[in-house]
Amino acid sequence: MTTFDAIYQNIIKRIMEEGVEELNERTGHKTKAIPGLTFQFDIEKDGFPVLTLRKNPLKSPIAEQVWFVQGEKDTTFLRKFTKMWDPFLEPDGTLSSAYGWRWRNHFGRDQLGKAIELLEKEPSSRHGVIVTWDPKDDGYGGTPKKNVPCPYTYTINIIGGRLNMHNIVRSNDMILGCPFDTFGFALLQCMIAQRLGVKPGIYTHSISNAHIYDNHYAGANEIISRTNDHKNIELHLPENTFKRAEAKDEELVGEILRDLQAQYNPLPPIDGLEIAL
């Protein structure tokens, strides 16, 4: 197995064995959950985190991050590659809580752009904080929204000439959400590292509520039972990836996808893994 496969499989096993089972009122599903879960890996040494224990989507998380970097809430670019956000769209085709929009526009400040500028000028800075959660509008049973951010803040910093990212997630569906989010934010980390002319380092993923839905229990047990001899995957980004993403270069998604597809030989999909909305 890859390094990420081993980390992920151990987490799923722990939740299934130790997780507290409770009813989630919003979805009507029971979940097994544990609080305060953190895992990390070294992208330079351990490879890029693509789950191989089951077939996982590649194009959609790539397109999503390229779209996030653009700072858009209009989904025209994104929907050329994936329709996964369609259930959450407003009537005008926008996504009101789009992560990239929050990072680059929503708070009246380009958080992501300013953080990159800061690290260019002051590589030792510890102020590289990007916030997604809007306390004025998100959560607490307030304004009804179709989507509330799950990864709600992350930090980027350079230590020893390598860019590290710490992603903090309030809630993670560990079967469908966690592998997708880990892939996407690790890709963003690599894109930012390339933009800054440094190597990617440690990716850390911290979850306040790490859970498995009851309709995923059988799939979780299948993941726990699986093994393979897949080698770690290395991401080879095209040049100027971050700037090309900002410029809405549609060819970029395919270039990144082909690099990963050439290395990706996952075990078969697991049937019945429906999202719990």
CA angle, 14 then 19 then 24, to 5°: 140
- Six-digit token string for 148: 């509330």
pLDDT at 140: 85
Q: Does 90 have pLDDT greater than 70? A: yes
Q: Does 84 have pLDDT greater than 70? A: yes
Q: pLDDT tens digits, residue range 207-227?
A: 999 999 999 999 999 999 999
- Catalytic positions: 150
Q: pLDDT tens digits, residue range 67-80?
A: 999 999 999 999 99
User: How much is the average pLDDT of 223-251?
Assistant: 98
pLDDT at 257: 98
Q: Does 9 have pLDDT greater than 70? A: yes
Delineate the domains of the chain, giving CATH numbers in brackets: 3-261 (3.30.572.10)
Q: What is the mean pLDDT of the chain?
A: 96
HEC letters along the chain: CCHHHHHHHHHHHHHHHHCEEEEECCCCEEEEEEEEEEEEEEHHHHCECCCCCCCCCCHHHHHHHHHHHHCCCECCCHHHCCCCCHHHCCCCCECCCCHHHHHHHHCCCCHHHHHHHHHHHCCCCCCCEEECCCCCCCCCCCCCCCCCCCEEEEEEEEECCEEEEEEEECCEECCCHHHHHHHHHHHHHHHHHHHHCCEEEEEEEEEEEEEEEHHHHHHHHHHHHCCCCCCCECCCCCCCHHHHHHCCCCHHHHHHHHHHHCCCCCCCCCCCCCCCC
Q: pLDDT tens digits, residue range 18-58?
A: 999 999 998 899 999 999 999 999 999 999 999 999 999 99
- Six-digit token string for 13: 């096993």
pLDDT band at 146 (very low <50, low <70, confident <90, very high): low
